[in-house]
Chain A
Amino acid sequence: MSLMKMTAVELGSRIKSKEISAVEAARAALDQIKSVEDKVNSYVTVLDEDVVLERAARVQQEIEAGKLTGPLAGVPVAIKDNMCTEGILTTCSSKILSNFKPGFSSEAVLNLEKAGAVILGKTNMDEFAMGSTTETSYFGPTKNPWNTAHVPGGSSGGSCSAVAAGECFYALGSDTGGSIRQPSSFCGVTGIKPTYGTVSRYGLIAYGSSLDQIGPVAKDVTDCAVILDTIASYDAKDSTSVKREYDFASALKDDVKGMRIGIPKDYFGEGLDSEVKEAVLNVAKTLEKKGAIVEEFDLSLVSYAIPAYYVIASAEASSNLARFDGVKYGYRTEDYEGLHNMYKKTRSEGFGPEVKRRIMLGSFVLSSGYYDAYYLKALRTKALIKQAFDKAFASYDMILAPAAPTTAPKLGDSLSDPIKMYLGDIYTISVNLAGLPGISVPCGIDSKGLPIGAQFIGNCFDEKKIIQAAYSYEKTRDMMLSDMCV
């Protein structure tokens, strides 16, 4: 079996048993990047070969010295470019941060490094995580490894395509409205958006602070559970961090007997591609055969999620992105007259159109006279959506839904119609509004040869339940890998 087809956990155990060295693994990943990166553009930054191999050698020494014993020691990883990495370019795929090297690393990255991760580079994304296709990146679009005429989804498109193309063994993404689950679904990989507060946001460059969560992207459920165990931690530096139980890997059990799975009827109506619908409903049938109890129910309020999300996320973004002003770091316009002109020109030149659209939208909904009508109303809607989920979880252990209404669209098809792109987030957005965990697992391939993803949604802190269900489902099918991953 080719090295790059291995899961992170498989590779980790072979490094541990000395069949493969961390340096060989890093070398293999770098070679694969060299051979396919031109076609997919998964990375904004690939670290210098010397730097990566030196780090791998050091990790190998520590493994041999018995200092690093975890399942991910020596396994190469890619990090989404909105997580700070000390001394390494961190751009959020934006011109305005195109020269920014942070002075500290994000907590999730530090947790990985402590576990012996070898960082390969920083992955491409929609600018400031705003977008569903990874086409809004200042560094050009990422392409779907299954078919490079299609998008990989977004905003963690680079992380998902890197995993799908075998350019890394696993990656970190971030999910504000579906940014891990939707591209995972488009790229045929597995990704988890954990319960809000599970992974520290310290060092994650904020988009929508009340919605952002970091999570794993990998080839299978086992990898995702193990990675989540590694990156999740209570962090006093993040006030929204939660003290909770972890041990996600203990849920990797092939058993769904008696599990109650709810299928929200309102998620399977108009707008859902028939092939996607069939594939996801097949997941339900498969689990039913294995002993789960599957029922349809009405979730309600589904149509309110997208407007509520775009009001809240844009409002927070308009404030979060205010600090990018050319004063302290990042891009500053060349010619300007006075402070205001500097601000104006820097931000006009530094941000792309989708970011500007959301900053304007967010500034508008917070402005005096509109705050109550838009922002407050959106917050109330958010509370009602949470209530609807609470009601559902009183009856069901989890909810099964598509991750996206379609498979990956063609490059260029989405940007011309932003509203259509926003509507594509319909199955993922409510999960962020309610702070819930969700996992996206591949569940089939459509007639165009593109992957389809199913999403399990759990109650807050119920990651273990959805991991167990996804794992049990995964046991019924073969590993899905793109042809590019060799």
Chain B
Amino acid sequence: MSKEYEMVIGLEVHVELATKTKIFCGCSTAFGGAPNTHTCPVCTGMPGSLPVLNKQVVEYATAVGLATNCTINQNCKFDRKNYFYPDNPQNYQISQLYYPICVNGGVEIETADGGKKTIGIHEIHMEEDAGKLVHDEWGDSSLVDFNRSGVPLIEIVSEPDMRSADEVIAYLEKLRQTIQYLGASDCKLNEGSMRADVNLSIREKGQTEFGTRTETKNLNSFKAIQRAIENEKNRQIDLIEAGEKVVQETRRWDDNKEYSYPMRSKEDAQDYRYFPEPDLVPILISDEWIEDIKSRQPEFREEKMVRYAEEFDLPEYDIDIITANKKLADIFEATVAICGNPKKVSNWLMVETMFLIKDRGMDVEDISFSPENLAKLIELTQSKAINGKVAKEVFARIFDEDIDPEAYVKENGLMAVNDEGELKAVIEKVIAANPKSVEDINAGKLKAMGFLVGQTMKEMKGKADPGSVNAILKELLGLE
């Protein structure tokens, strides 16, 4: 490749809001559930039914807008987007085109070279999700499940400000963190509560005009997004190098096959015939309401990072991991409030918790143990009531079942034996039973010490403090 190219990327990110009920009716938004059990006349588009806006949706959308430095359209409206599809019960989607709730915002990301860059947000609008089509494998037909129909979404439309897959990931991470901190969504890509469509074009470096863009859909993980971007970049460069033209079209990414295929071109793009939704009145967002939402905004990551350094004296590395996710930060703060020891708490979260999340194939969001039990565990180790090995075992139980470590340790007889007399008696027995090892030690082969410590721990069923065992052994063997 002789020429140097750069990518121009803009994202359309859909986020499912964490409201208990749907955007225009009282049905539950819970994920799963037998088909068509979370439905009513409104979200199944029955004749005569009418939508009523869920206020919480406006609150969440406003909160996200404020957190991403948007201007709030204090007089916004819903519009109808008309298209026929069986998962869309009214054959129109209630969305926002003409007066979206948030406009002209942006978030700051860190670039690969450690610099800062602002990614502009063109707008954020509110809309309803569609139902789901399920193909009937027995008959030649499809079935519709309307449980998801009417689940509230916001669509965050960025400016075409990103120039690499890394910037895209950094932008998405930033959005996810911010929205999770607000509690407005859990933002799970794999469950579809966060979905990103990538608009990408390429141009020669230094050129100011945009190339022809494509939109890639069906990206269910950060890795898929990264792969799809690289793939699409190369596809477009190959076309241009071969003297062909990039066609403006929507493409679908297949992450298993690692390639995308065209879904529809601009020529057969639908005319959605948007017009103001007459069944809903305009939304007036007063200054007072905005102030109220602002006053309830949580402490965001940047502020938390500064405070953790000052208040808890944690290393930057720890702060970075703990604050990356609000759930983790919340557990950290709650635990420290009970037992102090910020560094110890941080270690448990960074090391053991992260290991178990990975091991159990979970998400940080799924952590369900209580800070009280982690605090108790830390107190047990601090007082040497249990040793480190036992503590790890007990923590796994806390992580999985949120057991009370004090009760558990007692019931299972895991208390460390710190009675010196008892320990001495056992060690004497071990020495007597292993004359060969004692000989080795006396001959200067100190490695045999480890064997004796191991034997003692075995006798003690792991409940002894290895430090104490070492000390007594040395004393009895006259090594000090």
- Which A residues fall within an 8 A CB radius of B? 83-84, 90, 92, 97, 100, 102-104, 106, 201-206, 208-210, 236-240, 315-316, 318-319, 322-325, 327-329, 339, 343, 363, 366-368, 371, 375
Contacts and interface: CB of A to CB of B under 8 A. Distances in A.
A363 B273 CA distance: 7
B436 to A, nearest CB: 83
Interface in B45-62: 45-53
Contacts of A367: 271, 273
B95 to A, nearest CB: 13
A206, A319, A363, A367 — most chain B CB neighbours (10 Å): A319
B91 interface: yes
A323 B50 CA distance: 13
Interface stretch (B80-88, B194-202, B240-248, B307-315): B80-88
Contact of B41 (A83, A103, A325, A363): A103
Nearest to B276: A379
B271 A202 contact: no
A172 to B, nearest CB: 14
Given A102-B48, A319-B80, A327-B86, 19 more contacts: A92-B47, A100-B47, A102-B46, A103-B41, A202-B49, A202-B50, A206-B48, A236-B52, A239-B281, A240-B278, A322-B92, A324-B47, A325-B91, A327-B144, A328-B89, A339-B86, A366-B274, A367-B271, A368-B273
B279 A97 contact: no
Given A239-B280, A315-B275, A375-B275, A322 B84 contact: yes
A54 B349 CA distance: 70
B44 interface: yes
A100 B46 CA distance: 11
**Can you list the 5 inter-chain pairs with the closest CB atoms, starting with the nearest?**
A322-B91, A366-B273, A209-B278, A210-B278, A203-B48
B211 to A, nearest CB: 24
Nearest to A208: B278
B82 A237 contact: no
Contacts of B278: 208-210, 240, 316
B143 to A, nearest CB: 11
A343 B273 contact: no
Given A103-B46, A323-B45, A366 B279 contact: no
B90 interface: yes
Contacts of B80: 319
10 contacts: A84-B47, A103-B46, A206-B48, A209-B279, A236-B52, A237-B50, A318-B273, A322-B84, A325-B84, A371-B273
Contacts of B144: 327-328
Contact of A205 (B48, B53, B273): B48
Nearest to A342: B86
Nearest to A362: B273
A327 B46 CA distance: 12
A240 B278 CA distance: 9
A343 B84 contact: yes
Interface string B291-306: 0000000000000000
Contacts of A90: 47
A63 B50 CA distance: 34
Nearest to A210: B278
A324 B80 CA distance: 16
A209 B47 CA distance: 12
A375 B279 CA distance: 17
A441 B65 CA distance: 54
A203 B53 CA distance: 17
A368 B48 CA distance: 28
Contacts of B274: 366, 371
A327, A339, A366 — most chain B CB neighbours (10 Å): A327
Nearest to B82: A319
A239 B50 contact: yes
Contacts of A206: 48, 279
Contacts of B275: 315-316, 319, 366, 371, 375
A237 B52 contact: yes
Given A237-B52, A239-B50, A239-B52, A328 B44 contact: yes
B84 A240 contact: no
A203 B279 CA distance: 13
Contacts of A209: 278-279
Nearest to A327: B86
